Structure 1
Amino acid sequence: MSKEGERRMAIDVETKDCTAVTDAELAEMADMCADGPNPFSVGLLSKQTEEWVLISTARENGKLRGFSFSTLERIGGTPSVLVGLASVARTSKRSTVLRQLTEAQLHRALMAFPDEDVLMGTQFDNAGGFDAFKPLVEIVPRPGHKASGEERAWGRRLAKRFSISASRYLDRDFRVVGDDGQACLLDYETTKPESIDPDVEALFDKVDRAGGDTMIAFGWIMAEDLLKYA
């Protein structure tokens, strides 16, 4: 077996309804991210179980290494995977954990929306978050691309779905202005920051992480590519 195969087998991903999340699991999630830049509280995590449908967890030898709240729904008729609050522990395998959480969500998307192109959207506060979008195309925002009116409209739709007030969302920058509270974002940092394209980094020049700013981003996975996650 290849080393990659061994790594993949070591990470177990489970997806279940948010209604099945226990208090002990919420405490475990809070403990996992307590020392990171986004220490989600048990209270905030508990609220997510009411706002989202699914929770995916990734474990390495039984130890929690990542989790993600999400839902599958149609927005204006468009099949969508929406990722809400999520966090990946800062271990050496975090890129693998993120990839497998994403794959679990795309598998669910295939089951829910066979033979359809699917939009995937979330919010994050640094360029490493785009690692979650590696299977996607037509990602917005992206360097050198002037967003169309329809793409900006998608940003507004996602901001509304993420319960972000219109006054805090700047649709030309796809930026959410922080409100001094804890943002419900995809909390992830790449293991290889030196490999990030400087033009991608530049997209975050106006994002004030310390102030709670985030960026809303989305992309598409085509129906034929979604079949890979069967």
Structure 2
Amino acid sequence: MALEVETKDCTALSDAEISEMAELVTGENVHFDVGHLSKQRDAWVLITHVRDGAKLSAYGFCTLERVGGDPTVLMGAGATRRSARRDSALRAMMTDQLRRAVLAFPDEDVLVACQMADPAAFTAFKPLDRVVPRPGYEPNGEDRAWGRRLAKRFDVQGEYKAREFKVYGDGGPSFVLNHTAPRPEKIDPAMTGLFDGFDTANGDALIAFGWASREDLAKLL
């Protein structure tokens, strides 16, 4: 069965849908309850739902805006169901949000950014170029400036260290893209190393971003 994707205004998000989203992932260090998600509804513009039949497979808040003058897709709290199709659900959600980006920002490269607490979340960035941070790459001053801009825009709680792109939490949740791998042992150890020392229960997170080229975005139309 094909996955169905819908993106709509957060103002159209019902209490029943928020309850369904809160139940998507439970019993983990990173978990957004009804209270957290209700506040996210007020903080973001768009919400994407991915369904496998009647069952919710993924969701993600986002907004399209200019940050530092550049067109940007900002991704807020999001999660995928712990199923065999989780990667497919994440790709479907990303594709829909990128399609909206090319409609909002035609003929421009677009920055895509989110917070992460697990290396598997980099799966969302596979269509992107110039991803920061990444193994084997030494970020430059402009990269770190972007990290600081995004940390401010995400209104991170705790301490943000620009050279590490890491948020050291203050005990509350960081509103990350909550995605895990079916087989985490298959993840490149260098990628896993970006998350060394993380305490996800404390709200630690990695701010990551990459660029979608205008040429690749045009293929989504």
TM-score of the pair, normalised by structure 2: 0.96
For residue 115 of structure 1, what is the amino acid of its counterpart?
D
Counterpart in the other structure of 2:68:
76
Residues 131 and 190 in structure 1, CA contact (< 8 A), matched pair in contact too: no
Q: What do the CA deviations read for 1:26-61 (whole angstroms, capped 9, x no partner)?
A: 111111123343221111101111111000001111
Within the alignment, does 1:159 sit opposite 2:151 as a pair?
A: yes
Q: By how many angstroms is 1:227 displaced?
A: 1.2
For residue 194 of structure 2, what is the amino acid of its counterpart?
L
Q: By how many angstroms is 1:220 displaced?
A: 0.4
Residue 229 of structure 1 aligns to a residue whose secondary structure is coil
Within the alignment, does 1:38 sit opposite 2:23 as a pair?
A: no
Q: Which runs of 5+ in 1 are unaligned?
A: 1-5
Residue 68 of structure 1 aligns to a residue whose secondary structure is strand
Q: By how many angstroms is 1:85 displaced?
A: 0.4
* Percent of aligned positions that are identical: 49
Counterpart in the other structure of 2:196:
205
Residues 87 and 187 in structure 1, CA contact (< 8 A), matched pair in contact too: yes
Within the alignment, does 1:177 sit opposite 2:168 as a pair?
A: yes
Residue 215 of structure 1 aligns to a residue whose secondary structure is strand
Q: Which runs of 5+ in 2 are unaligned?
A: none
Tell me the matched-pair count. Answer: 221
Q: By how many angstroms is 1:72 displaced?
A: 0.3
For residue 123 of structure 2, what is the amino acid of its counterpart?
D
Residue 71 of structure 1 aligns to a residue whose secondary structure is strand
Q: Runs (4+) of structure 1 moved beyond 6 Å?
A: none
For residue 201 of structure 1, what is the amino acid of its counterpart?
T
Q: By how many angstroms is 1:222 displaced?
A: 0.6
Residues 207 and 215 in structure 1, CA contact (< 8 A), matched pair in contact too: no
Residue 80 of structure 1 aligns to a residue whose secondary structure is strand
Residue 173 of structure 1 aligns to a residue whose secondary structure is coil
Measured in 2, the distance between the counterparts of 1:228 and 1:204 equals 33
Measured in 2, the distance between the counterparts of 1:36 and 1:206 equals 18
Q: By how many angstroms is 1:22 displaced?
A: 0.6
Residue 210 of structure 1 aligns to a residue whose secondary structure is helix
Counterpart in the other structure of 1:192:
183
Q: By how many angstroms is 1:206 displaced?
A: 2.9
Measured in 2, the distance between the counterparts of 1:136 and 1:195 equals 21
Counterpart in the other structure of 1:108:
100
